[in-house]
Structure 1
Amino acid sequence: MSEPRPRSAAADPLAEDDAALLARAVVALQRHAEPLREVGALFTDAGHELYLVGGSVRDALLGRLGVDLDFTTDAHPEAVQRILRPWADGMWDTGIDFGTVGAARQGHRVEITTFRADTYDRVSRNPQVRFGERLDDDLIRRDFTVNAMAVRIDPAAPGGIGEFVDPLNGLAALRARTLDTPSAPEVSFGDDPLRMLRAARFVSQLGFTVAPRVRAAIEQMAPELGRITAERIAAELDKLLLGADPVAGIDLMVETGMGEQVLPEIGAMRMAIDEHHQHKDVYQHSLTVLRQAIDLEAGEPDLVLRWAALLHDIGKPATRRHEEGGGVSFHHHEVVGAKMARKRMRALKYSKQMVDDVSQLVYLHLRFHGYGDGRWTDSAVRRYVTDAGPLLSRLHRLVRADCTTRNKRRAARLQANYDDLEQRIAELAAKEDLARVRPDLDGNEIMQLLGIPAGPQVGRAWNFLKELRMERGPLDRDEAEAELLKWWNAEGGSTV
């Protein structure tokens, strides 16, 4: 199990007592006082109850509440639409089959769901929707107790904030940083297996751990994730990777058997020994690279970089070879890994762009190690930049993150070599357009000079000029035409 990152007590809201946590939530909710009072008054006037619920209450207690607010009510969806229509600038009903109506006004987004008391068919994760009549019935059907707290919206109360409702001791679980289920975990996960993967996501996002009974149920029921669509799996994996500590979430996923169901290539890396012998296995090395890549991010979390960091060495188990003298090699693991990354991400129904970007970074991550002590030609530098294309800045971060040796001298040498490579890229870029290395003649000019129509011959000529441009840099027009004619004659062509 990976070691958790240390917490700063001063920045930890859960170091406070219950009264202080509730006070923190009130402060967070007061920033939304206007929509809370307005929407609360609409439902009160219509004779209905309205509660802030779920992640919104949890995040208010943690001091991380955003602009999206989730509510539950005894009003049925059609009534919710009638109540909200005079208030909302816009409304949507994409979740109305499950009792959810969404609306937005002046930058605030609300989703309001009718009390639910669903039953499940235990074949898919789709519930047989049944509306409930009591808040308690709604709360007990939720995934975890930290998401089963509510705040009554009372327009007559300060800021529209009424009583705090916690029948399942969610606040205590929050204080303990524990994910537990409102009902028996076997029942909860049997109803919706995606909740198991959601536990790993919350471990990453919130820094919580799972209760022992929850972990035991996940270990037993992980194969049930086979009932979940690839798209829903991918959405949870993305949220996990974008969390504050994705390594903790990945560890839970792998150690409980969930990883074998949704991302088996990650757990398989535990069987490979890293060639530098500085980590227990390639799995731990990859988690370290992920952490270091996150530390190198500029601004917002970079999902493509994080996926590439996690998957960059997945080709090692398939390419492991024991050499004479006790050594281990992983020749061409970047080529095999890129193919494996592409196959897995396609199976998870990622976009073509996402698949291409992640697999290309996996493919390129090892190329820098041929740089040595700055012995690359300008041509090799151009190819490195051209092959990376718009991924170059991510490739820089991935390669730097991939340095996990504990040998300080070797680590310093690797970083100095990469500093040198980046400096050479900058120097070449100052002389020529490295971001768009193209032949010095375009297709029309090639056809005119050679007297040939559009077709495969033009493509071959264009590729020759592209390779020439890579090798020698920009040529003036006369030189480019002379080289093209020399190549054309050598190929047996003739001009007209």
Structure 2
Amino acid sequence: MQSVATALTRLGDLAASPTVSRLANAFSAAGHELSLVGGPVRDAFLDRPIHDLDFTTDATPDEILKVVKPISDAHWDIGRAFGTIGALVAGETVEITTYRADSYDGQTRKPEVVFGLSLEDDLLRRDFTVNALALRLPELALVDPANGIADLLAGILRTPISPERSFGDDPLRMMRAARFTAQLGFSLDADTRVAMEAMADRILNISAERVCDELSKLLKSDSPRVGIELLVDTGLFGRVLPEIPALRLEIDEHHHHKDVYQHTLTVLDQAIGYEKSRASFNGPDLIVRLAALMHDTGKPATRKLEPGGVVSFYHHDLVGAKLAKKRLRALRFDNDTISAVARLIELHLRFFGYTEGAWTDSAVRRYVRDAGDQLERLHILTRADVTTRNRRKADRLGFAYDDLEQRIKELAEQEEMAAVRPDLDGQQIMAILGVSPGREVGEAYRFLLEQRLDDGPLGEEEATRRLTAWWAARAR
């Protein structure tokens, strides 16, 4: 956390940058107000990188366009209906929005867009006090009508107006509260938390697409766990992602098992750690984090109390994969993400058979084939799934996976295993067998693929010999 004086110095340096100064001078010359607003001002106090430059003004969208056209390299008005104009100024992308004073019907997130008259009123309609900050330009006057600076210094997240009214205006702000607690490490104001609990059902008024976007932002934060816990404890996840609170399975005095919910949060933490340690990952990986969060969601449906106090979860990997597909589809995640997450959940237990006996090269090849382009993510999820406090067991599993990865690497170097294919292609199969395209070609291809996985590269001559023998035996 920066001191106020240091933050103001940083904001002054930002205001002197070519992009900000060019905009400030142009709006001032045109007789309009202009302020840097929200995240950039907040992050100056938190000593965080400043990425997005957001501005607000008393100018209407038409007037904004008139000002920015002469000084921008490009401009766009895709958000014009909501008062927002985008532009590229001095090489940086900016968004400039007319003061807003929206009104709502109290039931759905469909505001009637109404332009406001003052900067202070615009700030008070924002989500949280720490985002209701502005720097007037070019005079460099800090505007803080909701005491956001005090909340920044105290590490508290609260709404500028009553939380009931704020969340009634836009229920998605309840999920944003969880994201900001994770991103900023702030504590949620008690009244704000109470309102979240009381109004959790309102999240059902929000489109799945907006919920998906907010959930993704939370999961891609450095430490999403605290935000997830807040969403579970306040009941929001019970409406948005009910498979997660369902992991809090009751344990009776006769049957004991690991706390699946806490295990899941630990797996997520560890997956993020492994993800950051691997050079092949550049930034947060949403697929890894979704898979870690949902990898055990099949356990509640498959829990069985066995004699002797044992609890089993047979086939929870397959059940969990199906549940993940259904839930992520309902939340409007894209098909590639859904398929990847489901595949990782389906495969996340496969490795544990490796520790029970040495895998053949054929089994290793199948592991790689089944993982496909998700192999690196599967490495992360499988390692993260080891949460035992038994150090000897954890070391044994870790060493076993080290060994598996080394074998994969060696086989890949020998065989270019990442692109495992039969030694003969479809055209060659048809020529050797004298058949036309059809079911038989597919069966022959799969036969040769199994031979390839079992025994490694065969060469064209040996593959032809095995194919003709298989075809002759099949004809009998």
TM-score bin (small chain)? over 0.9
| Partner in structure 1 of residue 192 of structure 2 | 214
| Partner in structure 1 of residue 28 of structure 2 | 44
Is 1:22 matched up with 2:5?
A: no
| Partner in structure 1 of residue 78 of structure 2 | 94
- Between the aligned partners of 1:477 and 1:491, the Cα distance in structure 2 is 21
Match of 1:251 among 226, 229, 233: 229
Match of 1:166 among 144, 148, 153: 144
The amino acid of 1:289's aligned partner reads: V
Q: Is the 8 A contact 2:39 2:52 kept in 1?
A: no
Is 1:103 matched up with 2:87?
A: yes
- Between the aligned partners of 1:340 and 1:175, the Cα distance in structure 2 is 42
Match of 2:336 among 353, 356, 363: 353
Gaps of 5+ in 1: 1-12
Question: For each residue in 1:178-212, what CA deviation from the matched residue of structure 2 results, as whole angstroms up to 9, or x when unmatched?
Answer: 11111111111111111111111111111112111
| Partner in structure 1 of residue 284 of structure 2 | 301
Match of 2:58 among 56, 62, 74: 74
- Between the aligned partners of 2:11 and 2:20, the Cα distance in structure 1 is 14
- Between the aligned partners of 1:70 and 1:354, the Cα distance in structure 2 is 30
The amino acid of 1:484's aligned partner reads: L
| Partner in structure 1 of residue 353 of structure 2 | 370
Is 1:260 matched up with 2:244?
A: no
- Between the aligned partners of 2:12 and 2:367, the Cα distance in structure 1 is 54
CA drift of 1:148 comes to 0.5
What SS does structure 1 have at the residue aligned with 2:355?
coil
- Between the aligned partners of 1:90 and 1:379, the Cα distance in structure 2 is 56
- Between the aligned partners of 2:322 and 2:359, the Cα distance in structure 1 is 27
| Partner in structure 2 of residue 147 of structure 1 | 131
CA drift of 1:273 comes to 6.0
Is 1:126 matched up with 2:110?
A: yes
Q: Is the 8 A contact 2:268 2:293 kept in 1?
A: yes
Aligned residues: 469
CA drift of 1:124 comes to 1.7
| Partner in structure 1 of residue 377 of structure 2 | 394
The aligned runs of 1:404-415 (5 Å cut-off) are 404-415=387-398
- Between the aligned partners of 2:23 and 2:10, the Cα distance in structure 1 is 22
- Between the aligned partners of 1:256 and 1:26, the Cα distance in structure 2 is 40
CA drift of 1:63 comes to 2.1
| Partner in structure 2 of residue 334 of structure 1 | 317
Gaps of 5+ in 2: none
- Between the aligned partners of 1:438 and 1:367, the Cα distance in structure 2 is 22
Is 1:113 matched up with 2:97?
A: yes
Q: Give the TM-score taking structure 1 as reference length.
A: 0.92
Question: For each residue in 1:404-446, what CA deviation from the matched residue of structure 2 results, as whole angstroms up to 9, or x when unmatched?
Answer: 0000000000001111111111121121121011111100001
From the superposition, tell whether residues 186 and 86 of structure 1 become closer, same or farther in structure 2 (CA, over 3 Å).
same
| Partner in structure 1 of residue 212 of structure 2 | 234
Q: Is the 8 A contact 1:67 1:108 kept in 2?
A: no
The amino acid of 2:218's aligned partner reads: L
What SS does structure 1 have at the residue aligned with 2:70?
coil
- Between the aligned partners of 2:186 and 2:446, the Cα distance in structure 1 is 55
Is 1:460 matched up with 2:443?
A: yes
CA drift of 1:373 comes to 5.2
- Between the aligned partners of 2:101 and 2:448, the Cα distance in structure 1 is 68
Q: Is the 8 A contact 1:278 1:406 kept in 2?
A: no
What SS does structure 2 have at the residue aligned with 1:128?
coil
Q: Is the 8 A contact 2:35 2:136 kept in 1?
A: yes
Q: Is the 8 A contact 1:101 1:111 kept in 2?
A: yes
Query: Alignment identity in percent?
Result: 55
From the superposition, tell whether residues 172 and 277 of structure 1 become closer, same or farther in structure 2 (CA, over 3 Å).
farther
The amino acid of 1:119's aligned partner reads: S
Q: Is the 8 A contact 1:117 1:131 kept in 2?
A: yes
Is 1:286 matched up with 2:264?
A: yes
- Between the aligned partners of 1:430 and 1:35, the Cα distance in structure 2 is 50
From the superposition, tell whether residues 432 and 273 of structure 1 become closer, same or farther in structure 2 (CA, over 3 Å).
farther
The amino acid of 2:267's aligned partner reads: V
CA RMSD of aligned residues (A): 1.7
Q: Is the 8 A contact 2:321 2:343 kept in 1?
A: yes
What SS does structure 2 have at the residue aligned with 1:113?
strand
What SS does structure 1 have at the residue aligned with 2:31?
coil
- Between the aligned partners of 1:373 and 1:419, the Cα distance in structure 2 is 15
| Partner in structure 1 of residue 326 of structure 2 | 343
CA drift of 1:67 comes to 3.5
CA drift of 1:86 comes to 0.8
CA drift of 1:472 comes to 1.2
